[in-house]
Structure 1
Amino acid sequence: MASDITLSNAVRNNLLSLQNTADLLGRTQERLATGKKVNSALDNPTNFFTASSLTARSSDLSSLLDSVSNSVQALKAADTGISGLTKLVESAKATARQALQAPVAYTQKPSVTSNALTGISADALTGTTNKVTGTKAGLTLDKTLNEGSITIATANGAATTITVGAAPGNAATVGDVIDQINSVSGLAARLTDTGKLEITSADGTGVQINYKGGAADLAAGPSETTGTVAVADDAALQALFATDKELTLVAEDGDTSTITLTATSTKEDLLTALNANGFSAEFDTDNQLRVGREDGQSFTVSGTAATDLGITNGTFVAASQGGSFTAPPPGTSQVSGTVAVADDAALQALAGEINLVAEDGDSATYTIDGTSTIADLTSTLTANGFTVSFDSDNQLKIARDDGQSFSVAGTGAAALGIDNGTTVPAYDPADTAGPLEQLGLSSTYSNNLDGKSLTVTTGQGTSDERTVTVSFGVGEDQVNSIAALNQAFGDAGVAVEALVVNGSLKIQSTNAAAGQTFEIEGTALGATGTDAAFTSATGTTKESTPATFGGAGDESRKAFVKDYNDLLKQINVLASDSSYNGINLLAGDDLSVVFNENGSSKLDIKGVSFDAEGLGLNDITESDFRDSQSVNNVIGKLDAALGSLRSQASKFGSNLSIVETRQNFTKELINVLDTGAANLTLADTNEEGANALALQTRQQLSTTALSLSSQADQAVLRLF
């Protein structure tokens, strides 16, 4: 709207300049008052809206910092909890180690024990070794040997028999025996420095003397004899014994088996009666009776029933020889008559007195008359160390088992075919000893472990199950010593140990695993009543005996069980208390940390369950601390728990580092945003102050100029 007032050009120009100055001064004063040079979109739309965007993002990030800060504290609370849990788990481990060092809690370890095994020793489980040394010292190569034979074999090889005697081709001297042994592949022989014969298996498979191998031999042992009469069935046996007859087996140590056979006896009755006191009896594939000694002792077979079964009455079976002969055993002094006495009547037809006198004065006397019987004669004279009987030829036989010399006198002796006054010399072992005795060798043979396998399993049906199979023998990959057997157990991690006890192999849990039971199976195990090394009711598996516990050690370890379980309770409590602001990363809570305003950048932290159960720890029972293996199993779980704690501590530490790094980054980014916004909108107060001062001066000057212009316009008034 045009002004109704007419101003001069100078006044109007000065007025306009004053108005502009006032406007600039007002704007400068506003900038000084707000500190900004852009206070609205009108000031600078680009800078205003850019600064507003930067300020808004800065504000959003600032609001996230509180959440990030809470996350940092939640992670620190979890880390603190893990540190506490670690100390508690280490305390539990210390308790377990104390239990480990306490006295043992068992009184008997689980075990299985074999039947008696012939010849077993710690260095020869199967009764064979790869070296046999005779006991006879001072032998020379030219020493002449008595007639006989020596059978030698390696455990896995064929048997070789060396015939000793004067005939061409036979071994006559010790040197000849050595030469013949050395000619056998796999065997070597020599005389030691002390003159003992030593026989060695070159291939390490073991040496067996007088070895008897093959399916045709009696499985029960090496000393044996076989009848010649076939007994097809019970009826055939009963047909032999219309009248009762007796069969007696007597071993050199006095063991005896006896049966009276009758018209009702069965083959089973016979075998049952004879299979006693170390004897073994069977009917072979030809239905002929075979009797033997499992331990290889010599024995005699006597009785009228023996003859009917095809074994000469009075047969002596030498130790480990497998042969038989009718003479009284070596080691006795003896004499035989030449007159056959078929029955009592034949004896009564004779007359006279028989006087027996031994060198130490022992004596026995009997007078034959019309009432004498064979039974009376034999029973009366069998006294004071004398043994008198009628042999299978019905001839009188007199012997001294102690080998003393004795005399036989009287007309009765002469009547029976023994010269009146006969002197029987003392038995001289050197004169009749066989080559085995002369060389100091004894029979060696394998027992029921030889060639058999045994599988031992511990921890059946659990994650700790361990099993090992061993084969017994002296061949490659076989074990024949306690050391080798225990080495096999140890290599397989089977916590058992073996030892030889009273002629049996005993396998028991180790001291460290005294509470575990185990089982065995394999060909070394058979049914009860068999000749297997180990026997069981099933014949296929055998469980170890259970452990028994007690004593001071058991009570001590029970106390440690309580201490351990109390520590697990504290683990549960501490884990539940490790929370911050309602978040417990040790109780399964998850945490999500957002780092930017739209949530596209974040860190998801997975919580864990670190109570005792979550750490793989459970309350234990008394059995868990009773032996070292059980304690070590608990310690293994504690070590795993410590590993989990340390691993999780590392993860939480890494997460904390990330969150703290992003926290610092966000703070710095907020500063960058705020600075950028300020750079776009903030005024330079120094500049604006200078502008204000200049404008104030200009305003004063403009006012003065306006005044001067106005005064110029007033000059006309002087005309009036």
Structure 2
Amino acid sequence: MSSITLSSATRQNLLVAQDTASLLSTTQNRLATGKKVNSALDSPSSFFTAQGLDNRAGDLSNILDSISNGVQVIQAANTGITSLQKLVDSAKSVANQALQATMGYATKSNVSTTITGATAGDLRGTTTYANAQANSNVLFNGTAGGTTAATGASTLGGVQAALTGAAATAGDGTTALTGAIKLIAATGTSATGLIGNAQPADGDTLTVNGKSITFRSGSAPSGTSIPSGSGVSGNILTDGNGNSTVYLGTTGTPAGSVDDLLKAVDIASGVNKVAIDSAGAATISASSSQTQSTVTGGKVVLQSSIGSDVDISGKADLLKALGLTTATGAGTANVGVARATASTTTGSLIQDGSTLNVNGKTITFKNAETPAAANVPSGSGKTGNVVTDGKGNSTVYLQAGSLNDVLTAIDLATGTQTASNASGAATLTTATGATNSSVVAGSLKISTGTLADLKISGTGNALSALGLAGNAGTDTSFTASRNSTPGGLSGKTLTFGALNNGTAVNVTFGDGTNGTVKTLDDLNTKLASNNLQAALDASGKLTISTTNDYASSTIGSATDGGAIGGTAAALFSAAGAPVVDANSQNTRASLLKQFNQILDNIKTTAQDASFNGVNLLNGDTLKLVFNEKGSSTMSMQGVTFDPAGLGLTKLGQSGANEFKDIASTNKVLDSLTQASSALRSQASTFGSNLSVVQNRQDFNKQIINVLQTGSSKLTDADLNEEAANSQALSTRQSLTVSALSLANQAQQSVLQLLR
């Protein structure tokens, strides 16, 4: 080309055309490849940097495949664990069926004894009771000085005492009072009755020892007009219980007299007794050995009863007219006379109406003459001065009763004596082993009997009068216990050596105090720690056997332990081996087979939980590389989760029966629980590892994206820019061609000249 001569303009335009063509070629190449750096010649720095980034991204992509395989290996292992957990749960279900099956032994190993009278509340057996005696305070009789001891014959009633009133007169003031003086005077004749303001009116009353004397005008009733149960004697109507009505008559014909009034007072005080026949006629007479109240020498002589003091309250004017008080007026006045004591009586006299409650039975003290056998209530019987209902309840009559009668009544209440009643008479029998109560050196020697411990309470003054209110005289009850001898196990000791790793037991039977055992619950509490239990049947047979957990064990055997000893051991039978229930054991053997089949499935499931030749449940190790340099790795050591690895073994080997009783079955369940825990723990570990691996997988994906993006930014062309460049270069090329044409026109002119 050097031999060709070009003009300067042509040469300049040619150079421009060449440059444009070169630029256009570069731009078209970029548009075609999409890259602005296609070789190291384009940009060495960018080319090699991008190449390095692409190479690392490629390496990480290869590692990402390995990580993906690792994820699948872990997921395969986790799926295997899920299946193994279900199989372990199935094995648990089989073991629980064994627990729910009928106990595998018809009879467990046991020792037993029969204790007469033993109850769940007292294993010692029947406590035998013997009569005991308790002493009251010393009682004294009524001898002056109060130091002479009373005897059984000392009477409960006292000696009659008399209150002699002041001399009294009739209403005229001059006629001496006599028993015949009327309570109200005849009209116009004051000498026949009491002084006017003293005369009782219809409805007036006197109260004598709590009994009522009522004054009524008119005449006493007769015939069918007499109230049922009451009786009439002259001008007196009495109800037989100490209450009376005195009929005054009329002022025209006065009726009731001072004698009538005194008879009514004596009825109320017990000095008089009354017999009422079926026609309503009353016979009034003095009670045995008692003197009636009278009017003597113009004076009222008021007598107390043997069995009770006398206390009278009523209108003062009436009592003054009788010479019994100095009080006057229509108000109430009180007069009375107390019994006396003597060497034949007790020093303290029991009040009428007082009671003793002896072991729930009632003894009543009554101020009355002891009735004849023919007159006692139906079903009751009389013995001495006691009337008893035959059930332990009695009435002691104070007018003749003695301390011996009181003791008889107490013995009937305690059961020391029993009464057989017939025709109003009581025949007494002393209970076997009991001793009748007595009086010794002035003390009541009271028998408790054998039926119950003694407890006596009372009302009135009975407790204190009988010396039963304690030393201070203020006690509200008197108590005494029977002599008792506990049953056959009392005080004896029973020992058991440790049974099947239990705790050795030492049991002492007693009253439940100081560590002794009394009740069945107490005994079972002691035995529980040694795998033993006790039961008691209605006949008193106490059986101590192994618990259901250890139904296959033999008490005292060399294998199981639990040897029996102690002072009570001789009372118990020898322990035998448990008796097998064939049907139940066959059921349990069938469950053993089911259990072993599940273990076989556990083994094959663990073997099949592999991916791409790696099995984390069969002991394989999974190693993962996370970067291209191999500096970031993770190793996962697998586990061996076949039955042996899970701590499970086949049952029923060499004739064994792991489902034979509850304890052995529970051991199997314990091993399954441990296996289940191991599976859950490993599942958690795999889950944690999987999370790490998946996180690294996501991380590598993102790093690859970052690397590829960086590489692209270094080498990729801006297609918009290159398209614009291509368009500009095309335009430029056209302009250059036109310019080159213009530059060549000068030479064309010379060519024209040559033509």
Cα deviation digits, residues 435-481 of structure 1 (max 9, x gap): 88833456424766638574553433xxxx56666665422444321
Distance 2:603 2:745 in 1: 99
Match of residue 614 from structure 1: 645
Cα deviation digits, residues 85-124 of structure 1 (max 9, x gap): 222222222222222222222122123447x778754323
Correspondence 1:314-393 to 2 at 5 A: none
Match of residue 495 from structure 1: 531
CA distance change for structure 1 residues 19 and 600 in 2, over 3 Å: closer, same or farther? same
Letter in 2 for 1:495: N
Contact in 1 for aligned 2:610/2:616 (Cα 8 Å): yes
Letter in 1 for 2:648: L
Q: Does structure 1 residue 559 correspond to structure 2 residue 559?
A: no
Correspondence 1:486-565 to 2 at 5 A: 486-490=524-528, 492=529, 494-500=530-536, 505-517=542-554, 525-526=565-566, 532-534=567-569, 545-565=576-596
Distance 2:694 2:9 in 1: 70
Match of residue 238 from structure 2: none
Aligned-residue offset at 1:715: 3.7
Correspondence 1:188-227 to 2 at 5 A: 192-193=359-360
Match of 1:671 among 688, 705, 708: 705
Match of residue 459 from structure 1: 500
Match of residue 180 from structure 1: none
Match of residue 660 from structure 2: 626
Match of 1:588 among 619, 644, 648: 619
Contact in 2 for aligned 1:524/1:533 (Cα 8 Å): no
Q: Secondary structure at the match of 2:485?
A: coil
Q: Secondary structure at the match of 1:624?
A: coil
Q: Secondary structure at the match of 1:11?
A: helix
Match of 2:608 among 570, 577, 581: 577
Aligned-residue offset at 1:682: 0.8
Distance 1:79 1:431 in 2: 86
Larger-Rg structure: 2
CA distance change for structure 1 residues 194 and 111 in 2, over 3 Å: closer, same or farther? farther
Q: Does structure 1 residue 72 correspond to structure 2 residue 71?
A: yes
Distance 1:191 1:678 in 2: 118
Between the two proteins, what is the percent identity of the paired residues? 43
Correspondence 1:95-494 to 2 at 5 A: 95-113=94-112, 121-126=119-124, 192-193=359-360, 433-434=434-435, 438-440=449-451, 441=482, 443-445=484-486, 450=491, 452=493, 454=495, 457-460=498-501, 472-473=509-510, 474-490=512-528, 492=529, 494=530
Cα deviation digits, residues 410-432 of structure 1 (max 9, x gap): xxxxxxxxxxxxxxxxx975598
Cα deviation digits, residues 592-615 of structure 1 (max 9, x gap): 222222233333323122111222
Letter in 1 for 2:625: V
Letter in 1 for 2:56: R
Distance 1:522 1:620 in 2: 27
Aligned-residue offset at 1:67: 0.9
Contact in 1 for aligned 2:499/2:561 (Cα 8 Å): no
Distance 2:496 2:533 in 1: 13
Cα deviation digits, residues 661-707 of structure 1 (max 9, x gap): 33233223212221221111111223223322322332232223222
Letter in 2 for 1:689: A
Aligned-residue offset at 1:516: 3.3
TM-score (norm 2): 0.50
Distance 1:11 1:562 in 2: 108
Letter in 2 for 1:459: N
Contact in 2 for aligned 1:127/1:444 (Cα 8 Å): no
CA distance change for structure 1 residues 605 and 632 in 2, over 3 Å: closer, same or farther? same
Distance 2:620 2:503 in 1: 40
Question: Any gaps of 5 or more consecutive residues in structure 2?
Answer: 141-148, 153-356, 363-427, 437-446, 452-481
Q: Secondary structure at the match of 1:674?
A: helix
Match of 1:691 among 725, 731, 737: 725
Q: Secondary structure at the match of 1:508?
A: strand
Cα deviation digits, residues 563-582 of structure 1 (max 9, x gap): 11111111111111111111
Q: Secondary structure at the match of 1:612?
A: coil
Distance 1:715 1:543 in 2: 151
Contact in 1 for aligned 2:555/2:575 (Cα 8 Å): yes
Paired residues in the alignment total 431
CA distance change for structure 1 residues 625 and 704 in 2, over 3 Å: closer, same or farther? same
CA distance change for structure 1 residues 34 and 466 in 2, over 3 Å: closer, same or farther? farther
Match of 2:691 among 652, 657, 669: 657
Distance 2:59 2:599 in 1: 46
Contact in 2 for aligned 1:454/1:521 (Cα 8 Å): no
**Most deviating of 428-437 and 599-608:** 428-437
Contact in 1 for aligned 2:128/2:484 (Cα 8 Å): no
Contact in 2 for aligned 1:459/1:517 (Cα 8 Å): no
Contact in 2 for aligned 1:518/1:543 (Cα 8 Å): no
Distance 1:511 1:522 in 2: 16
Contact in 2 for aligned 1:453/1:522 (Cα 8 Å): no
Contact in 2 for aligned 1:28/1:691 (Cα 8 Å): yes
Contact in 2 for aligned 1:149/1:163 (Cα 8 Å): no
Contact in 2 for aligned 1:456/1:518 (Cα 8 Å): no
Contact in 1 for aligned 2:500/2:561 (Cα 8 Å): no
CA distance change for structure 1 residues 545 and 53 in 2, over 3 Å: closer, same or farther? farther
Q: Secondary structure at the match of 2:40?
A: coil
Q: Does structure 1 residue 701 correspond to structure 2 residue 735?
A: yes
Contact in 2 for aligned 1:106/1:515 (Cα 8 Å): yes
CA distance change for structure 1 residues 524 and 653 in 2, over 3 Å: closer, same or farther? closer
Match of residue 203 from structure 1: none
Question: Any gaps of 5 or more consecutive residues in structure 1?
Answer: 136-147, 151-161, 174-189, 196-426, 527-531, 537-541
Q: Secondary structure at the match of 2:657?
A: helix
